[in-house]
């Protein structure tokens, strides 16, 4: 059962992850600036006052935070969220967003709050289209770690030197070739020459 303190603490963590105060979060969400203030968390008679689901929904929308992330923030002892770079999947093939190692670079990134990310270079990609169904659907957000080691069976993001970006399951990573299994049966598996692959990064989490 969720407690009053857990819900308000999660709102505080959400604001912190966005670099905002509680009142700043309320303003960004288009709410009265005092909506999330500590003085509003109890009534004049000392009874606990809960935030409305509408105000929480607006705060999540304003910070680009998935509901699943907010639920994690409500867990007892949950780690505070931090903002990671967010890019639309359709843009990931364009130049300037990544360096040659697959680390986020350049300008044009949005931000999304996500808790417990140990890789300071982790970033988020928002899925577009149906090519990754049923694993990932249009609008899902995947958290990617360019520093995490990859092994057989991992879901990964792969970028080729020609600029193609794909999400696959890693079947085999050999010295001369990389074998990838499609997440959608309608699309074929791929085998790429290792020399044609710019980088591979492991998917840590997805909002579903």
Listed residues 78, 98, 125: the one ending a domain: 78
Between the alpha carbon of residue 36 and those of residues 14, 69, 184, the distances in Å are: 11, 19, 43
pTM of the model: 0.60
- The per-residue pLDDT for range 43-57, each reduced to its tens digit, is 887 888 899 999 999
How far is residue 71's CA from residue 78's CA, in Å, rounded to a whole number?
Answer: 9
The pair of structure tokens assigned to 194 is 């290792």
Listed residues 13, 48, 78: the one ending a domain: 78
According to the model, what pLDDT value does residue 17 have? 74
**108 and 197 part of one domain:** yes
Instruction: Please give the mean pLDDT across all residues of the chain.
Output: 85
**95 and 128 part of one domain:** yes
According to the model, what pLDDT value does residue 85 have? 83
**128 and 197 part of one domain:** yes
How far is residue 72's CA from residue 134's CA, in Å, rounded to a whole number?
Answer: 24
Count of domains forming the chain? 2
Listed residues 51, 78, 105: the one ending a domain: 78
- Give me the domain span that covers residue 108: 82-206
Q: What is the CATH number of the domain that holds 98?
A: 2.10.109.10
Q: What is the CATH number of the domain that holds 41?
A: 1.10.260.40
- The per-residue pLDDT for range 141-185, each reduced to its tens digit, is 888 988 888 999 999 999 999 989 999 999 999 999 999 999 998
Collect the ranges in the chain with pLDDT lower than 70.
1, 75-82, 113-118, 208
**73 and 97 part of one domain:** no
**99 and 168 part of one domain:** yes
Of 142, 5, 170, nearest in space to 66 by CA:
142
How far is residue 121's CA from residue 71's CA, in Å, rounded to a whole number?
Answer: 23
According to the model, what pLDDT value does residue 183 have? 92
According to the model, what pLDDT value does residue 158 have? 95
């Amino acid at each position: 059962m969720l407690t009053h303190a857990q819900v308000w603490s999660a709102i505080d963590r959400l604001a912190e992850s966005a670099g905002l105060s509680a009142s700043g979060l309320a303003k960004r969400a288009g709410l009265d600036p005092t909506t999330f203030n500590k003085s509003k968390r109890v009534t004049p008679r000392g009874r606990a006052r809960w935030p409305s689901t509408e105000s929480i929904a607006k705060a999540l929308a304003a910070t680009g935070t998935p509901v699943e992330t907010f639920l994690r923030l409500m867990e007892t002892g949950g780690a505070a969220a931090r903002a990671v770079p967010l890019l639309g999947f359709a843009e990931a093939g364009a130049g300037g967003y990544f360096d040659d190692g697959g680390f986020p670079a350049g300008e044009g990134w949005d931000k999304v709050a996500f808790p417990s990310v140990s890789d300071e270079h982790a970033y988020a990609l928002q899925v577009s289209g149906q090519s990754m169904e049923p694993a990932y659907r249009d609008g899902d957000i995947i958290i990617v770690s360019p520093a995490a080691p990859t092994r057989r069976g991992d879901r990964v993001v792969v970028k080729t030197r020609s600029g193609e970006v794909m999400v696959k399951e890693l079947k085999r990573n050999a010295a001369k070739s990389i074998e990838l299994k499609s997440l959608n049966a309608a699309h074929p598996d791929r085998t790429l020459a290792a020399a044609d692959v710019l980088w591979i990064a492991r998917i840590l989490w997805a909002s579903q």
